[in-house]
Amino acid sequence: MRAITVKVGLASCGIAAGADAVYRRLESYLIESSKMVQLKRTGCIGMCFEEPIVEFDGGDLGRVTLGKVEPKQIIHLLEEYLSDRMPKTNLILADQHDAKHNPLMASQMRIVLKNCGVIDPQSIEEYEETGGYQALKQALSMRPYAVIDLVKASGLRGRGGAGFPTGLKWDFAFEQPGPKKYVICNADEGDPGAFMDRSLLEGDPHRIIEGMLIGAYAMGADEGYIYCRAEYPLAIKHLRIAIQAAIEKNYLGPNIMGTDFSFTLHIKEGAGAFVCGEETALMHSIEGLRGMPTLRPPYPAESGLWGKPTNINNVETWANVPWIILNGPQAFRAIGTQQSPGTKVFALAGKVVGSGLIEVPMGISIRDIIYKVGGGIKDGKKFKAIQLGGPSGGCIPEELLDTTVDYDSINATGAIMGSGGMVVMDEDTCMVDVAKYFLHFTQNESCGKCTFCRIGTRRMLEILDRISQGKGETEDIQRLQELAQNINQGSLCGLGQSAPNPVITTLRYFRDEYEAHIVEKKCPTQVCVDLLTYTIDKDKCMGCHVCALRCPVKCISGKRKQPHVIDPAMCIKCDSCYKSCRFDAVVKA
Amino acid sequence: MLENTDKLDALIQKYQGQEGILIPLLQEAQELYGHINKELMLYLSAKTEIPAAEIFGVATFYSMFKLKAQGRHVIKICKGTACHVSDVDSIKFALIEQLKLRPGEDTTSDMRFTLVEVACLGCCSLAPVIMIDDKTYGKLAPEDIVGILANYS
């Protein structure tokens, strides 16, 4: 009998879509039927829009990937596969990692995500089989500074958003006197619309641990922390399992792999504060204090956690390190652009067909990401903007879609690379509302230390609120621009400095939408409810009374079979009547 | 006065003498008592010699710490970008209507549910998303809410 494997993608998205039930159904079926099938769990396969995803392999049909699988279908699908019949439904592709058959995969390149959705993240053996911990072994045979030189030569830049050269950062920490130094993995992925780090931690935790070990050896650190959001329970669970397994195999602990190098790794759960993604705030939070940023210098390399030299890198940066050690800096530089080598992982979401986790070589255009990798805009709508970098980033309009993905080109648009959240917006999205949404977020998350950030963001939000309610004044645009500049210059940390970015970029590229709200008192996309009025078209209304029954405030009146009327004074603009009318008689404008 | 402090005392003992203990201590204390009120803060302060003002400062800084009693089930509404552009507000209004919450209220009078807004839950391709206790519900429409809430007592 052949060895057939069945893999179920059990990352958070998969579980949310019901993959757990599919897994349990398979499990009980396989116990009963005693078929020679190996059932495995794996991390995020990347095509989140197809979740739950199941992959069959090992049969004559080769690898077959199925999407949107329901528990009641799965046994039938498996039996089809076992009888060498290609399943007719749910089929996504017939050899997932063979780019030829899959246009969504063709433009991608997987270095960091190599194992994600392939191996069982709870098994250290599976990680080892893919070459895991070989990079550590190699690094331990080198002098520490040679490792730093190698990372410098690769040109790797920090994937947390700012793009600072990683090798240089390591060098600063290396130069500091010991003996006590720390390395930290920043897994406080707080940007709304970003889930790269979660998927990586859930899908391939050992890669991050190995990266940290290599960095710690190079810089001379013997202790490390992974600071992870408490909102990511599965990532924390997989990390705990991975750390325990690594200790048992002597990849962690004293005298690692028989050398003098010892390293202890802790997990620190965040407690819910966006500002803790800022490195000084993050360290204060580990110290048990309020996570409030402090002035740099001193940089963490000089005086970091508990005053000791500390190096902080983001999850994806650490995950790149083992690949660079094993394949060499030249191989890394062969990917991407001169100034931004390598790949970048993005969480593609919003109004795009193929939302999910993607990894692309730097230098690809944003247009290719949306239309080739992402398969275009959902429901045949028109593209309006793509938001990069979360609350610190900005919106890139259609005319700049050919901008390439590298730190410098994206910064030139006014957005930032950020950690990798990409949210696609279509013609139905109101850009004033988007700006307001982000400002609301940063205003809420401002730690309150700097006056401009604390009060300035609130003043900006008030102005945006006013504009979206139709009470805007023409001077408001000027006021927003002045406040934006002041907040940028008067704030200590990145959160405050970048807080106005969403407003600045939408003002730059979508000024006409602001003006429509202010001058015409209209929201062109009908998102800002205060600017809407609901009326009933007498000629179309059949008097079916459905809208009146649905109306929660009973503001629609009229006799059956006669045109109805909405009382605008009572209407709360809930949209119920609009949605319930079968004759398109409710008009909103 | 705070009652049943045995487990809490054991917890304090576990962390005694370590650095940076306040956040994990508060996290575990909250698991024991459901929320962190003034009495609990004063008790912790007396036992650990961390000033009560510092404990209050940390407890109010992080959104994870709850200063009031929570309902039996916590409903988290994702306010991530993808959910926002997918009209998660219509889901929020449906929840508020079903739970009969008045403005300013976040917990139902029978303590069955607490409704909170959270930053991104990281399941953006399933937007709009809510999470009830540990279970995530995605691709929601307002009509789905009644059926989902019926699963919880």
- Asked, for residue A359, whether it belongs to a domain, the answer is yes
Q: Look up the ipTM and state it.
A: 0.89
Nearest to B126 among A16, A191, A390 (CB): A16
C-alpha distances in Å from residue A420, one per residue of A113, A151, A161, A469, A471: 14, 22, 8, 32, 35
Nearest to B81 among A269, A289, A423 (CB): A423
User: Which tokens belong to A409?
Assistant: 């080109």
- Tell me the HSE value of A348 on the side-chain side, using a 13 A CA sphere: 31
pLDDT digits (tens, 9 = 90+) for A468-503: 999 999 999 999 999 999 999 999 999 999 999 999
- What φ, ψ does residue A358 adopt, rounded to 5°? -130, 155
Tell me if A1 sits within 8 A of A36, measured CB to CB.
yes
pLDDT at A368: 95
CB contact under 8 A, B63 and A437: no
Which residues, 6+ apart, have CB-to-CB distance to A61 below 8 Å?
A81, A84, A86, A94
- Asked, for residue A117, whether it belongs to a domain, the answer is no
At residue A194 the predicted structure's pLDDT band, cuts being 50, 70 and 90, is confident
The residue that leads in pLDDT, A457 or B16, is A457
Tell me if A150 sits within 8 A of A325, measured CB to CB.
yes
Sign, Cα dihedral of A208, A213, A214, A219: positive
CB contact under 8 A, B57 and A17: no
Determine the residue among A12, A195, A201, A551 to mutate to test chain B binding: the one whose Cβ has the most chain B Cβ atoms within 10 Å: A195
Buried/exposed code over A34-63 (b: 16+ C-beta within 10 A; e: otherwise): eeebebbbbbbbbbbbbbbbbbbbbbebeb
Could you tell me if A442 and A562 lie in one domain? no
pLDDT at A101: 53
pLDDT at A103: 65
Tokens 């433009």 locate to A107
Could you tell me if A420 and A438 lie in one domain? no
Could you tell me if A501 and A547 lie in one domain? no
All residues of chain B having their beta carbon less than 8 Å from the beta carbon of residue A231 are: 118-119, 121-122
User: Which tokens belong to A529?
Assistant: 């409810």
Could you tell me if A148 and A234 lie in one domain? yes
Task: Tell me the pLDDT of chain A averaged across its residues.
Answer: 92
Other residues' Cβ atoms within 10 Å of the Cβ of residue B4: 8
pLDDT at B45: 95
Residue A1 has pLDDT above 60, yes or no: no
Determine the residue among B100, B124, B144, B145 to mutate to test chain A binding: the one whose Cβ has the most chain A Cβ atoms within 10 Å: B124
pLDDT digits (tens, 9 = 90+) for A361-408: 999 999 999 999 999 999 999 999 999 998 999 999 999 999 999 999
Domains in chain B: boundaries: 6-61, 73-149
User: What's the rounded Cα separation, in Å, for the pair A160 and A186?
Assistant: 8
Find out whether the peptide bond into A309 is cis, omega within 30 degrees of 0: no
Could you tell me if A171 and A294 lie in one domain? yes
Angle at B77 between CA A117 and CA A499, to 5 degrees: 85
pLDDT digits (tens, 9 = 90+) for B106-118: 999 999 999 999 8
User: What's the rounded Cα separation, in Å, for the pair A202 and B150?
Assistant: 31
Structural domain boundaries enclosing A146 = 124-331
In B92-151, the residues whose Cβ lies within 8 Å of chain A are 93, 97, 118-127, 129, 134, 136-138
A171-198 average pLDDT score: 93
CB contact under 8 A, A423 and B64: no
Could you tell me if A277 and A239 lie in one domain? yes
Nearest to A17 among B19, B126, B134 (CB): B126
User: What's the rounded Cα separation, in Å, for the pair A65 and A93?
Assistant: 5
Could you tell me if A161 and A280 lie in one domain? yes
At residue A2 the predicted structure's pLDDT band, cuts being 50, 70 and 90, is low
Angle at A505 between CA A453 and CA A484, to 5 degrees: 25
Is residue B19 less than 8 Å (CB to CB) from chain A?
A: yes
- Asked, for residue A466, whether it belongs to a domain, the answer is yes
Could you tell me if A185 and A46 lie in one domain? no
At residue B50 the predicted structure's pLDDT band, cuts being 50, 70 and 90, is very high
SS (H, E, C) A23-60: HHHHHHHHHHHCCCEEEEEECCCCCHHHCCCEEEECCC
Could you tell me if A232 and A147 lie in one domain? yes
Cite the beta strand spans of A400-494 per DSSP E: 421-426
Could you tell me if A96 and A185 lie in one domain? no
Domain with A544 in it: what CATH number? 3.30.70.20
- For B121, name the nearest residue in chain A, comparing CA atoms only: A231
pLDDT digits (tens, 9 = 90+) for A501-550: 999 999 999 999 999 999 999 999 999 999 999 999 999 999 999 999 98
Question: Nearest CA to B132 among B143, B145, B141?
Answer: B145
Tell me if A22 sits within 8 A of A69, measured CB to CB.
yes
Q: What architecture does CATH give domain B73-149?
A: 3-Layer(aba) Sandwich (3.40)
> Which residue, of A426, A444, A470, is where some domain finishes?
A426
- Asked, for residue A337, whether it belongs to a domain, the answer is no
Domain with A480 in it: what CATH number? 1.20.1440.230
Tell me if A67 sits within 8 A of A51, measured CB to CB.
yes
Other residues' Cβ atoms within 10 Å of the Cβ of residue A20: 17
- Asked, for residue A525, whether it belongs to a domain, the answer is no
User: Considering its fold, how many domains does chain A have in total?
Assistant: 5
Other residues' Cβ atoms within 10 Å of the Cβ of residue A297: 8
User: What's the rounded Cα separation, in Å, for the pair A216 and A266?
Assistant: 13
User: What's the rounded Cα separation, in Å, for the pair A197 and A12?
Assistant: 12
Determine the residue among B50, B74, B84 to mutate to test chain A binding: the one whose Cβ has the most chain A Cβ atoms within 10 Å: B84
All residues of chain B having their beta carbon less than 8 Å from the beta carbon of residue A437 are: 81, 84
- Asked, for residue A370, whether it belongs to a domain, the answer is yes
Could you tell me if A268 and A353 lie in one domain? no
pLDDT at A232: 86
pLDDT at A295: 92
- Pairing label, strands B113-118, B73-78: parallel
All residues of chain B having their beta carbon less than 8 Å from the beta carbon of residue A275 are: none
The DSSP bridge partners found for residue B149 are none
At residue B1 the predicted structure's pLDDT band, cuts being 50, 70 and 90, is low
Could you tell me if A442 and A383 lie in one domain? no
Residue A100 has pLDDT above 70, yes or no: no
pLDDT at A95: 62
Q: Percentage of chain A surpassing pLDDT 70?
A: 98
CB contact under 8 A, A289 and B21: no
> Which residue, of A331, A351, A380, is where some domain finishes?
A331
CB contact under 8 A, A423 and B93: no
pLDDT digits (tens, 9 = 90+) for A37-79: 999 999 888 888 888 999 998 888 888 888 999 999 999 999 9
